[in-house]
Amino acid sequence: MDKETAASRLAELRELIHEHNYYYHVLDEPRISDAKFDMLMKELLELEKLYPELVTDDSPSQRLGGAPLATFPEVRHIVPMLSLENAFSEGEVKAFYRRLQKNLGLEQITLVGEPKIDGLAVSLYYEKGKFVRGATRGDGERGEEITANLRTIRSLPLRLRKNFTMEVRGEVYMPLLGFERLNREREEAGLSLFANPRNAAAGSLRQLDPVVAAQRPLDLFVYGMVQLDGERLNSQWEILNLLKEVGFKVNEHVRILNNLQEAMDYYEYMRALRATLPYEIDGVVLKVNELVYQQAVGYTSRVPRWAIAYKFTAEEGITRILDITVNVGRTGVITPLAELEPLLLSGSVIKRASLHNEGMIREKDVMIGDTVIVHKAGEVIPQIVRVLKEKRNGEERPFSMPEQCPSCGKKIYRFPGEAALRCLNPACPAQVVERIVHFASRGAMDISGLGEALAINLYRAGLVKDVGDLYTLTLDDLSRLERMGKKSAENLLNALERSKENPLHRLIYALGIRLVGERAARLLAAHFGSLPRLAAASWEELVALKEIGPQIAASLQDFFGQQETKNVLQKLEKAGVNFREPEPQGEEELLTRNLEGMNFVLTGTLQHLTREQAREMIEAQGGKVLSSVSRNINYLIVGEKPGSKLEKALKLGIKVLKEEEMLQMLDGSARARS
């Protein structure tokens, strides 16, 4: 292909990829499958590699991160990024509304209600439709330029659907599932944990290395515009609609509120909806809708007089720490756990909260017997907020981390720069069991029926010492285990046999390599194609891959260099476990995926799966899991306490499935393909 043809094709590919990113990340209405999208992206990257001089600033390839920065340049905001006045009671909101009535001389004032996303405020500047600069709020007058990191956010348009020059304000946040996954990976790696999704989003945006930011699950909602050339708008509602029209993601729960009572009703509605949202909100923002009225009431030195943030009060509870125990994870990390007097919080009973590491225990001065305040971080994760030291009576006992592993009795260590203590014994029983459970999990090799209880029994019976031994199990072996009937044993052996056909990326993730999560496993499998090639890769080859930094590369080399790993891989290869990643699917192959083109939404708490596991299962069969209910959805999967999504789905006539029905559908689809 000559340069002129390549330039034409690259322009076409950029347009196609931008368009499909918009449908996927902004509208939640994907028009093509992931496999087709990946093929477009692969073609773009290959052409840009051949013709690097044709790479543009708004190319989708620029989302993957660039060279690390020495520091963040300072940016002066054209229009200051002011804070909002906070209200914590109905009386304060009524006073705000009365001031508006007095200043404007109006009886009824139309407001716009918006969820207050708990993230990091950013300013985005576009020239003739192209994203050129982004910055943090900073002190309101000056912020830090974080353009390279913002480019990595998939829902941020690198090029608008109209060639406007404009400055947009928004909030970068981290979805709850992404936050949980990130902290889980950091805990396994012995790194300090983020306290909440907001801190995680802020820490990710302030990474000097954009490649690190690209690995973080960040998202963006926009809510305002302070400068626009060539267009005249009259209201906040018009601004939000224009932002959607040109390609931005605007929160679906924004509402027009015609009077004070509607504003109060909106607050209660969002407070009830809060627990079902896939991201954190800490209140609602109420803004005067008409821009001429905003200008009329004006600003103080620090806040606009035409807007207020009506904050939620966090649901917290008081309980007592009965004991502090420790858990040994699959990578050897020793995690202290607070065993609590049962506490009902946000609709569920809390009995345990992670204390994460020794440093957190010292920082919060936690003792056995302490009375503590607990809340659910993001309405999901139980977290000890603080100790009520005034409740101490002298019977409290300090806790010390053990010097030996509670599972195997070996000495434990802390690596330089890490917060966690580790057991380094690869034969540690707790680690072996956890590795087996992880290997068999839905996101990994998906070996149905192999949970923690069975893994413990297999280990104690001497049948399984590592994951390679799973494939040598026989019906006779399993029949010797307590509570293992013939049918259950046959089902397990069948599940093991099916797992041999899994693609390479599942195996890489299943092996539990430190720092290698599901995304990194997919990248490695796609690049190297086979496990032997990955195992033999040099450090230079590994770090040359985008999103695979020096730490992951070192972890991979350490893992594949161990004799224990070589022994396990020999067992897996002998058993016939697939070591290769399939080629990208062509058009005919895509048609065989039974859920291809079907869109799903998950709501409520599932009993047998996490939402991440359910998503993996659906996407493995060609389906797509979206975050919001619309006419484009085929099925709503409901668990306990489904919330408003169920009501909306019923109004739209969307088919509703319980978790068991979803599993039957997926099982039937899998059998139809086999």
CB 80, CB 91: distance < 8 Å:
no
- Nearest Cα neighbor of 87 from 307, 273, 375 is 307
What is the distance between the alpha carbons of residues 562 and 427, in angstroms, rounded to a whole number?
Answer: 13
Question: Tokens for 321?
Answer: 């720490």
| DSSP β-bridge partners for residue 122 | 136, 170
- Phi and psi, residue 531, nearest 5°: -70, -40
Give residue for tokens 């809390």.
350
Question: Tokens for 94?
Answer: 């009524």
DSSP 8-state class, residue 157: -
Pairing of strands 421-423, 412-413: antiparallel
Single out the catalytic residue among 3, 116, 130, 376.
116
- Nearest Cα neighbor of 24 from 219, 216, 169 is 219
CB 298, CB 157: distance < 8 Å:
no
- Nearest Cα neighbor of 364 from 392, 347, 387 is 387
- Nearest Cα neighbor of 503 from 615, 574, 585 is 585
What is the distance between the alpha carbons of residues 301 and 190, in angstroms, rounded to a whole number?
Answer: 44
Residue type, 68: P
249 counts as catalytic: no
CB 516, CB 552: distance < 8 Å:
yes
What is the distance between the alpha carbons of residues 352 and 342, in angstroms, rounded to a whole number?
Answer: 8
Give residue for tokens 């690596």.
415
Opening angle at CA 143, ends 310 and 174, nearest 5: 55
CB 319, CB 374: distance < 8 Å:
yes
Query: CB 382: neighbour CB atoms within 10 A?
Result: 20
Catalytic residues: 116
